[in-house]
Amino acid sequence: MIKRLFAIGFIFVCVSAAWFVLAGATSTRTHSADSSLKSRVAQLWGAPQTQSPPSVVAWEMVTRKVESVEDGKKITKIVDERATEKLTLDSSDIKVALKLDHRQKGLLWYATYGVDFAATYVVTNPSRVARNIEISLPFPAKRAVFDDLRFELDGAQWVTKPAPGEDKFVGNTRLGAGESAILRVGYRSQGLDRWSYHFGNGVAEVRNFKLAMSTNFDAIDFPDDAISPVSKERTAEGWALKWEYRHLVSGVNIAMAMPEKLQPGPLASQIAAFAPVSLFFFIVVLLTIGIVRNVDIHPMHFFFVAASFFSFHLLFAYLADQASIHAAFAIAAVVSLLLTLSYLRIVFGTAFAFFAAGTAQFVYLVLFSYAFFFKGLTGLAITVGAIATLFVLMQVTARVNWNAVFGDRRAVSSASVTS
């Protein structure tokens, strides 16, 4: 028996090494492709978008004297300069609709989305004299694509195109003393991973601010550097969220992180790395059943069953980027179970193959692996399964004479004399 255990242990170590190689190869495939694939997705669909409010600047041309020294002579020049003063928006009323649309590339899903942005801003000249006002709206991302773009002042289209090389739309107007103007901007665009509304660098002052956001997904997530909404309400598609402030002074911003799908590449790598634990439970249970039922299981039988276990992870790792992750898992599980059942049915009969080995493989390979689909519950599910297994094994083997099993003749004969 001891020699068999050593042989089974050697098989276990070899197969475990193969699993670790497979897990490493899958992880390498995933991460090496991620950098290039993500840039391709960003080019095709768009990058993470960060929209900033319009920058409002009051300006006027002033004339001043500039003195300089040239060839030992003092020269005075008259220079026209642009004097500017940054103004704060009087109010902001913004509506944002986010529509999530995941895209798969290779072994990874990317959280792409469409955004419908519409905002109304009120700009006021607080001065007692008429002033020139320049308003600029930054792009939410470089190389972004805009549809139905609106940039209107008091109902009139204000500008058609940004200047070459600029990353913002700019328009100029003139407001009388205390006069206000209404700026309406809007567009439809698309981005990746995260959408943000950025008030500005450092601590920013915001007046009469409203932002209403709707989503078509349930799993809303606010990053650490973002403000939570003041109210939220479930809708038929997702959530309706609102941020509303009369006078906000803050150094944080509004942001929404797009929910991620279960990633095939990392999942396949994690399951493969955990596979030795599944095989260990299976071997212990099958050895115990063999001892209790007096079934002679040779190490070579374990070798072929271990190979069928490995086939599950190998097939799943290379099917995950060709089919849906659940379909790939189901196909790999069925193939692995068929290999084990068809083999052990010939060796030990139908009853042992289906009710002993088949059940154990289903629990420790299929169910333990499927636990990785439930993020945050994997460890608990496996722990409960391990404790339940321990309980069953202790109850079943409580009356087993282990001295006889491991061939300790002296202990067996001593027990016989005592009895």
33-90 tens-digit pLDDT:
655 666 666 667 778 899 989 888 888 877 777 677 776 677 777 767 777 888 888 8
Give me the residue label for tokens 């995950």.
320
Predicted confidence at residue 415, as pLDDT, reads: 45
Averaged pLDDT for residues 369-390? 88
Do 64 and 206 sit in the same domain of this protein?
Answer: yes
DSSP 176-232: -TT-EEEEEEEEEEEEESEEEE---SSSEEEEEEEEEEEES-S--B--TTBPPPSEE
CA 356 to chain centre: 39
365-374 tens-digit pLDDT:
999 999 988 8
Please check whether residue 237 lies inside any domain of the structure.
Answer: yes
**What is the radius of gyration, based on Cα positions, of the chain?**
34
Do 235 and 332 sit in the same domain of this protein?
Answer: no
Do 96 and 230 sit in the same domain of this protein?
Answer: yes
Do 348 and 236 sit in the same domain of this protein?
Answer: no
Predicted confidence at residue 166, as pLDDT, reads: 67
Q: How far apart are CA 170 and CA 14, in angstroms?
A: 67
Quote the percentage of the chain above a pLDDT of 70.
Answer: 89
Please check whether residue 238 lies inside any domain of the structure.
Answer: yes
Looking at 137-141, 157-161, 299-303, 395-399, which range is the least confident one?
Answer: 157-161
Q: What is the DSSP secondary structure assignment for residue 409, as one 8-state letter?
A: H
The two three-digit tokens of residue 210, written as one number: 């409203």
Predicted confidence at residue 164, as pLDDT, reads: 57
Averaged pLDDT for residues 284-289? 90
Q: How many residues does the chain have?
A: 419
Tell which of 257, 282, 304 closes a domain: 257
Instruction: Indicate whether 30 pLDDT > 80.
Output: no
Looking at 160-174, 187-201, 223-237, which range is the least confident one?
Answer: 160-174
Do 193 and 108 sit in the same domain of this protein?
Answer: yes
Output phi, psi for 320, to 5 deg.
-60, -30
Q: How far apart are CA 329 and CA 319, in angstroms?
A: 8
Predicted confidence at residue 262, as pLDDT, reads: 81
Instruction: Indicate whether 391 pLDDT > 60.
Output: yes
Please check whether residue 41 lies inside any domain of the structure.
Answer: no
Do 237 and 124 sit in the same domain of this protein?
Answer: yes
Predicted confidence at residue 32, as pLDDT, reads: 64
Containing H/E element for 97? Answer: strand 91-100
What is the SS3 assignment for 104?
strand
Looking at 123-127, 241-245, 260-264, which range is the least confident one?
Answer: 260-264
Domain count, the chain: 2
**Are the beta carbons of 320 and 264 closer than 8 angstroms?**
yes
Q: What is the DSSP secondary structure assignment for residue 162, as one 8-state letter?
A: P
Tell which of 208, 230, 257 closes a domain: 257
Please give the single-letter amino acid code of residue 299: P
The two three-digit tokens of residue 344, written as one number: 């052990």
Give me the residue label for tokens 């905002």.
119
The two three-digit tokens of residue 300, written as one number: 């070579």
Please check whether residue 303 lies inside any domain of the structure.
Answer: yes
Predicted confidence at residue 233, as pLDDT, reads: 92
Do 252 and 378 sit in the same domain of this protein?
Answer: no
Classify 380 in phi/psi space as left (phi over 0), alpha (psi -120 to 50) or beta: alpha
Residues 6+ apart with CB under 8 A from 317: 22, 25, 26, 268, 269, 272
Q: How far apart are CA 251 and CA 243, in angstroms?
A: 15
Mean residue pLDDT of the chain comes to 84
Do 238 and 373 sit in the same domain of this protein?
Answer: no
* CATH classification at residue 251: 2.60.40
Residues 6+ apart with CB under 8 A from 348: 295, 297, 357
**18 pLDDT band (50/70/90 cuts)?**
very high
Q: Angle at which helices 325-348 and 264-293 pack, to 10 degrees?
A: 20
Do 329 and 239 sit in the same domain of this protein?
Answer: no
Predicted confidence at residue 411, as pLDDT, reads: 46
The two three-digit tokens of residue 72, written as one number: 């030992």
Do 82 and 24 sit in the same domain of this protein?
Answer: no
Please check whether residue 307 lies inside any domain of the structure.
Answer: yes
322-371 tens-digit pLDDT:
888 889 999 999 999 999 999 999 999 998 889 889 999 999 999 999 99
Tell which of 228, 257, 286 closes a domain: 257
Do 386 and 344 sit in the same domain of this protein?
Answer: yes
Do 82 and 13 sit in the same domain of this protein?
Answer: no
CA 115 to chain centre: 19
Q: How far apart are CA 250 and CA 56, in angstroms?
A: 19
Please check whether residue 317 lies inside any domain of the structure.
Answer: yes
Predicted confidence at residue 396, as pLDDT, reads: 85
Q: How far apart are CA 254 and CA 225, in angstroms?
A: 8
Predicted confidence at residue 419, as pLDDT, reads: 45
Q: Angle at which helices 264-293 and 378-396 pack, to 10 degrees?
A: 10
**Strand 180-192 to 204-215 pairing:** unpaired
Q: Structural domain of residue 223, as residue ranges?
A: 46-257
Please check whether residue 245 lies inside any domain of the structure.
Answer: yes
Strand ranges of the sheet holding 49-51, from the earlier edge strand across to the other edge: 49-51, 194-197, 254-257
DSSP 23-36: HHHHHHHHHHHHHH
Q: Count of CB atoms within 10 A of residue 366's CB?
A: 19
Predicted confidence at residue 36, as pLDDT, reads: 61
